[in-house]
Amino acid sequence: MLQHMLNARMLDSSLRLDRPESSRLAWAFAISLAVHLFCFGGYRLGNQHGWWQAIHWPAWVTAARQSIAHLLKKETPVPETAVESEVPVMFVEVNPALATVEPPRNAKYYSDKNSRAANPEADVESNIPKITGSQTQVVRTEDVPRPKTFPLQPSPPGAEHLEETRAKPAPPPGDLVMAKPAPAPIKESGQANESRPRTLREARARQQQPMSLVGDKMKQEGGVKRQAIESSLDVIATPFGAYDRAIIEAVQNRWYYLLDSGNFARERTGKVVLEFRLHSDGKITDMIEVENTVDLLLSLLCQKAIQDPAPYPAWPSDMRRKLGADYRDVRFTFYYN
């Protein structure tokens, strides 16, 4: 029993540190902490002032740092919305004769047809085609004059007798007495009455549907290597291109009708910018005037040109699926020249 107690006392005394040893341990801990704080503080201070970037490290150090950074780099998944390019927001009418099947890569404009930037004379390397027009307000590649309106004409004399003749019932089959022989068929000689087109542009113009949105060709400096008969822009077809074209045409026709029906000052120049919300059912709400450099009457005329044809047709399913919402904000700009 006594021997066991002595062994316990000897073991207990061997685990205790004397005062010099504990003092040395405390000093070592304090020095280690000070060194770590000094190194960390120096590293942070060097990053703030760019000291470490200015140092020319040896080649093996630089290679090792790049390898470690490449291994530690985490690959973050890219969202699908970031992969897709930005959707163009400005509508531009495309001539059917210049439409292309392949869409452009980076288009600033959209329409109901694709087109790629081209020039009649491909002599300049640029992404912007050269367009020799007269105005710089509206993006247009061709001159489309406004169709002339003609007053209603009276019926020519003898028209009533002609209608009565056409309205007579045909004779019953088999009655050869009252029936008249059918006129002999005209043999085609192979020569067309209409003159042949002299140029490729004229031939395409006869085959394709003409442009309907009225406006003057724009003026733009530039040039692209792709050659075509007429200058064209990079325009991409979207599911709502045809829908927007129909709305623009309806607003344009109504605007011209209101201008012609009233005696408005033709010498006034300026523009009216309106914004509104177009809903999926074709209704118009929340119309506001963003800019007006003419007068209140001409601004109200523009508002009526948008509101009178409403409600517009409901959105197509592709358009609604593409936008992912039940409404869209639209901006219209009217120019008084």
Q: Is residue 17 part of a domain?
A: no
CA atoms within 13 A on the CB side of 94: 29
Answer yes or no: do 257 and 140 share one domain.
Answer: no
**Is pLDDT above 90 for 333?**
yes
Q: Compute the distance between CA of residue 94 and CA of residue 115 in angstroms, rounded to an integer.
A: 7
pLDDT for the residue 150: 46
Statement to judge: residues 227 and 328 lie in one domain: no
Cα-based distances in Å from 86 to 4, 105, 109: 86, 11, 11
Q: Coil, strand or helix: which one is 114?
A: strand
230 & 316 share domain: no
Q: Specify which of 67-71, 283-287, 333-337 reaches the highest per-range mean pLDDT.
A: 283-287
DSSP-assigned beta bridge partners for residue 271: 335
Sign of CA dihedral 234, 236, 240, 241: positive
Q: Write down the pLDDT at residue 21.
A: 64
Spatial separation of the C-alpha atoms in residues 142 and 145, rounded to whole Å: 10
Average pLDDT value for the chain: 74
HSE-CB of 13 using CA atoms within 13 angstroms: 6
What is the pLDDT, as a whole number, of residue 14?
47
Range(s) of the domain holding residue 309: 239-337
First-to-last alpha carbon distance for the chain, in angstroms, is 119
Confidence of residue 176 (pLDDT cuts 50, 70, 90): very low
123 and 93, same structural domain? Answer: yes
Same domain? For 221 and 281 the reply is no
54 pLDDT higher than 70: no
Q: Residue 16 pLDDT > 60, yes or no?
A: no
Q: Which long-range contacts (CB under 8 A, 24 or more apart) does 325-329 make?
A: 326/279, 326/280, 327/277, 327/278, 327/279, 327/280, 328/277, 328/278, 329/275, 329/276, 329/277, 329/278
CA 56 to chain CA centroid, Å, is 48
Percent of the chain at pLDDT exceeding 70: 61
Residue pLDDT, tens place only, 264-307: 766 788 999 999 999 999 999 999 999 999 999 999 999 999 99
CATH number of residue 296's parent domain: 3.30.1150
Q: Is the pLDDT assigned to residue 73 strictly greater than 90?
A: no
Segment 221-279, tens digit of pLDDT: 888 888 888 889 999 999 899 999 999 999 999 999 999 888 776 678 899 999 999 99
**Which of 199, 219, 238 lies at the terminal end of a domain, its last residue?**
238
Q: How far apart are CA 83 and CA 77, in angstroms?
A: 11
- Pairing between β-strand 109-111 and β-strand 90-91 as defined by DSSP bridges: parallel
Higher pLDDT, 163 or 246: 246
323 in the same domain as 259: yes
Q: Are residues 92 and 134 in the same domain?
A: yes
Query: How many structural domains is the chain composed of?
Result: 2
Give CB contacts under 8 A, 24+ apart, made by 103-108: 103/236, 103/237, 104/234, 104/235, 104/236, 106/234, 107/234, 107/235, 107/236, 108/233, 108/234
Tell me if 7 is assigned to some domain.
no
Which pLDDT value is given to residue 292? Answer: 96
pLDDT 10s digits, 177-191: 334 344 444 444 444
- Predicted confidence band of residue 89 (pLDDT cuts 50, 70, 90): confident
Residue 187 lies in a domain: no
| Rounded distance between C-alpha atoms, residue 262 and residue 298, angstroms | 11
Structure-model confidence comparison of residues 286 and 128, the more confident one? 286
Beta strand ranges found along the chain (DSSP E): 90-91, 109-111, 235-237, 270-279, 284-292, 327-336
Report the pLDDT averaged over residues 146-164. Answer: 52
pLDDT band at 112 (very low <50, low <70, confident <90, very high): very high
pLDDT at 10: 45
What is the pLDDT, as a whole number, of residue 33?
Answer: 77
Beta bridge mates, 131: 220
pLDDT score, position 175: 38
